[in-house]
Structure 1
Amino acid sequence: MVVAAVTLVLLAGCGDESSPGSAELRGKTYLSTAVTEDGKPKTLAPNTRIRLQFMDDGRLLADAGCNSMSGKVSTDDGKLAIGDGLAMTDLGCDAPRHAQDTWLSQLLQQDPAWKLEAGRLDVTAAGTTLVLADRETADPDRPLDGTRWTVETLISGETASTPGAENAYLTVNGGRVTGSTGCNDLQGVVARTGDKLTFGEIAITRRACGGQEAALEKAILATVQGEVSFTIEANRLRLRTPSGSGLDLTAPR
């Protein structure tokens, strides 16, 4: 097998020059904006982006649109060195995404050189250029207020489910929350303090729901009562109750 030599180019979110070492990368996440091979554009699998996340504990998390990869990474001596290889999940991917997973995995295990200069990070193994931007620049966090957050996943303990939730959503506007359980409309009051939301009385319409609709409504109403924590990353909102149950929601890109 011939593995193409590769140059990765990542655009950092700030313009400061930096010296070799890991501190500049740790805590940063980068998303691809373009790829070229031998100076010609390379098309990624549909609806995918390359994501590289440099964790504070020295791990690199990466994905190419399907499986997730992780491994300890050293950035010493101007190299991205994956010491013990990459661990990868084993999801069933379609052929284009499977091939892209393999390509990214091979690329990252070539110990490519990197250089951060004037806000641009070049990771070089020659021939191919992957251009990425700081996640907060390429895909900024959506505002909590005024965004229509569509329910994507129900979280219960360590399990997750998606029971046809495409019509269920929440929207927060100041001290009010409105939305739909996918069966009934809801509205009520909510207060925000830091990373906490405290829901007050919630009123809903009285349409009879059955099956998956009823299960979905029960999970949503169990989340929007009392205090819940929330986090937003790009177009994803996570709501968690003190017990760890909750909702994952998404906003339009």
Structure 2
Amino acid sequence: MRTHHVITAALAASLALTACGATETAGTAPGGKGVSGVKWTVETLDNDGKREAAPAGAGAHLLIEDGKVRGNNGCADFSAPAEADGNSLTVKEAEVTDIGCDPTAMKFGEAFQKLITGKLTTVVAGDRLTLTTAGGDKITLTSKPETLTPLNGTRWTVDSLVQGEAVTSVPQDANGKAWFVIGKDGAVQGNLGCNNFTSKATAAGGEVTFGPLASTRMACTGPAGEVEKAVSAVLKGKVAYSVESGALTLTAPNGKGLRATAQPAAS
């Protein structure tokens, strides 16, 4: 498993960007929307003459503020220093959190990361931001409020394990095997990475409390066994939780945790 520590280095450059063709002040779109300090959700990539929509539920987004661009490329979190000059934005090489993803999300993330690096022309129109590379490729984003993913009733697939600020991808051989659904009635079911399990959970005030786990008793070795042990330790007692851009983070009091991606749950 590969572990990566995110480095939060920021430049002091201003990110007041000028919307092309707009008569408002620099960095604002018609209606007064600023480019910086806004969460922009990725809609499409125009790359080498082909348009690709962001994978559903991937949560690809970016935020421009405090001399940097940070967000999620649809597969992993990233952070990069940035400099502004009029209606252009130059994004330097990013620090990217190493997280295992399915092939579609990984391919999209790699394409996004390539396009977001270098000098970009910025155009804001209404609730949309377009970033254009020197070669004419584009990233189209929107600031429309995203639909929140509910904790209950969603199938959460574990893609990484957390220890403090260190995020470790699930091993390739165990990728996609650990998942769970917290039903609207609090009943929990899923797979720990090897064994199926059931439990009960109640959520309130940013915390979710898991009851005792009941699981099948298959012997689990190798990567699946490692993931099962780690996931079992997190789904125990009271843990903090947060849901953002289709991703769930659970953090135990000892700093151990997991991250999981939303997928449609079977009815």
Please classify the TM superposition score into its range, dividing by the shorter chain length: 0.5 to 0.7
Q: What amino acid is aligned across from residue 155 of structure 2 in structure 1?
A: R
- Equivalent in 131, 137, 160 of residue 153 of structure 1: 160
Code of the aligned partner of 1:206? R
Is 1:201 matched with 2:209? no
With over 3 angstroms needed to count, the CA separation of the structure-2 counterparts of 1:179 and 1:46, relative to structure 1, is: closer
Deviation by residue 1:52-101 (Cα, 9 ceiling, x = unmatched):
522454532367678945124558x6x3444xx52324899x99987864
Q: Secondary structure at the match of 1:239?
A: strand
Q: Is the Cα contact below 8 Å between 1:29 and 1:53 reproduced in 2?
A: yes
Cα shift at 1:219: 0.9
Counterpart secondary structure, 2:223: helix
1:106 maps to which of 118, 143, 148? 118
Deviation at 1:203, TM superposition (A): 1.6
The answer as to 2:179 corresponding to 1:172 is: no
Aligned to 2:93: 87
Instruction: Give the AA of the match of 1:166.
Output: G
Q: 1:35 to 1:104 in 2, by over 3 A?
A: same
Question: Which residue of structure 2 aligns with residue 241 of structure 1?
Answer: 252
In 1, Cα distance between equivalents of 2:107 and 2:218: 44
Q: Distance in 2 between matches of 1:99 and 1:213?
A: 30
Rg bigger for which structure?
1
5+ residue gaps in structure 1?
1-6, 9-15
**What code does the residue aligned with 1:155 have?**
V
- Measured after TM superposition, the shift of residue 183 of structure 1 is 2.1
Query: Partners of 2:179 and 2:110 in 1: how far apart?
Result: 32
Which residue identity does 2:32 align to in structure 1?
S
- Aligned equivalent of 1:70: 80
Deviation readout 1:131-163 (Å, 9 max, x if unpaired): 3223744xx332221111112112234251413
Structure 2 SS opposite 1:212: helix
**Runs (5+) with no aligned partner, structure 2:** 1-18, 21-28, 99-105
What is the TM-score normalised by the length of structure 2? 0.64
Q: What RMSD, in angstroms, separates the aligned Cα atoms of the two structures?
A: 4.2
2:141 equivalent to 1:132: yes
Offset of 1:25 from its aligned partner?
3.8
Percentage of identical aligned residues: 27
* Residues matched between the structures, number: 224
Q: Does 1:227 align with 2:238?
A: yes
Residue 72 and residue 227 in structure 1: after superposition, are their counterparts in 2 closer, same or farther (change >3 A)?
same
Change (3 A) 1:90 1:224: closer
In terms of mean alpha carbon deviation, does 124-133 or 152-161 score higher? Answer: 124-133
Of 42-51 and 212-221, more deviation after overlay is shown by: 42-51
Secondary structure of the 2:229 match is: helix
d(CA) in 2 for partners of 1:101 and 1:241? 31
Tell me the TM-score normalised to structure 1 length: 0.67
